Amino acid sequence: MTNSSQDKAPLLDVNCLSVDYGLKGVSLRAIDRVSFALQAGEAVGLVGESGSGKTTTAMAIAGLLSPNARVSSGEVRYRGSRLPIDDDAAMRPHRWCETSVVFQGAMNALNPVHRIIKQIAEPCMLKLGMSRGEATARARELLGLVGIPTDRGSAYPHELSGGMRQRVMIAMALACRPSIVIGDEPTTALDVITQAQILKLLGELRSRLSLALILITHDLSVVAECCDRVMIMYAGRIVEDGTVAEIFAQPKHPYTRLLIESIPNPASGKKMIRPIPGDPPNLVNRPSGCAFHPRCPSAMGVCGTEVPSLDQFGRGRVACHLHRSSRGDKVAVHA
Partner 1 sequence: MSGGGAGRHIGRILIRAIVTILMVAVLNFILFRVIPGDPAALLLGGARTSVTAEQMEAQRQNWGLDRPLFPDQMVDYLTATLQGDFGYSFKFRGRHVAELILERLPATVVLVGLAQFVAILCGVMLGLYAGWRRGGAIDHIVTGASLALYSTPSFWLGMLLVVTFSTALGWLPGYGAYSPGATIGSLDSLLDHLRHLALPVTAVALGLIGQYVVVARAAMSDVVTEDYMVTARAKGLTNGQMLVRHAFRNAMLPVVTLITLNLGYVVAGAITVEAVFAWPGIGGLTVEALNARDYPVLQGIFLLLGASIVVANLIADLAYGLLDPRVRQ
Alpha helical stretches, state H, the chain: 54-62, 88-91, 116-128, 132-145, 162-173, 192-209, 220-226, 244-249, 254-261, 321-325, 327-334
Q: Which of 5, 9, 93, 277 binds partner 1 (CB under 8 A)?
A: 93
Give the total of residues touching partner 1 (CB under 8 A): 28
Distance CA 219, CA 59 (A): 19
Which among 121-129, 143-151, 196-204, 322-330 is the span making contact with partner 1, rule CB under 8 A? 121-129
By CB under 8 A, is residue 108 in contact with partner 1?
Answer: yes
Residue 64 interacts with partner 1 (CB under 8 A): yes or no: yes
Q: CA-CA distance, 312 to 327, in Å (whole number)?
A: 9
| From 156-164, 224-232, 245-253, 283-291, span contacting partner 1 (CB under 8 A) | 156-164
Task: Name beta bridge partners: 238.
Answer: 233
Residue 208, SS3? helix
Q: Based on the shown chain and the rule CB under 8 A, indicate whether residue 62 belongs to the binding site for partner 1.
A: yes
Rounded to a whole number of angstroms, the distance between the first and last alpha carbons of the chain is: 13
97 touching partner 1, by CB under 8 A: yes
**Closest C-alpha among 16, 21, 14, 34 to residue 67:** 21
* Span near partner 1 by CB under 8 A; candidates 99-107, 133-141, 274-282, 308-316: 99-107
Give yes or no for residue 123 binding partner 1 (CB under 8 A): yes
Out of 16, 23, 126, 300, point to the residue binding partner 1 (CB under 8 A): 126
The residues binding partner 1 (CB under 8 A) are: 62, 64, 92-97, 100-101, 103-104, 107-113, 122-123, 126-127, 155-156, 158-159, 172
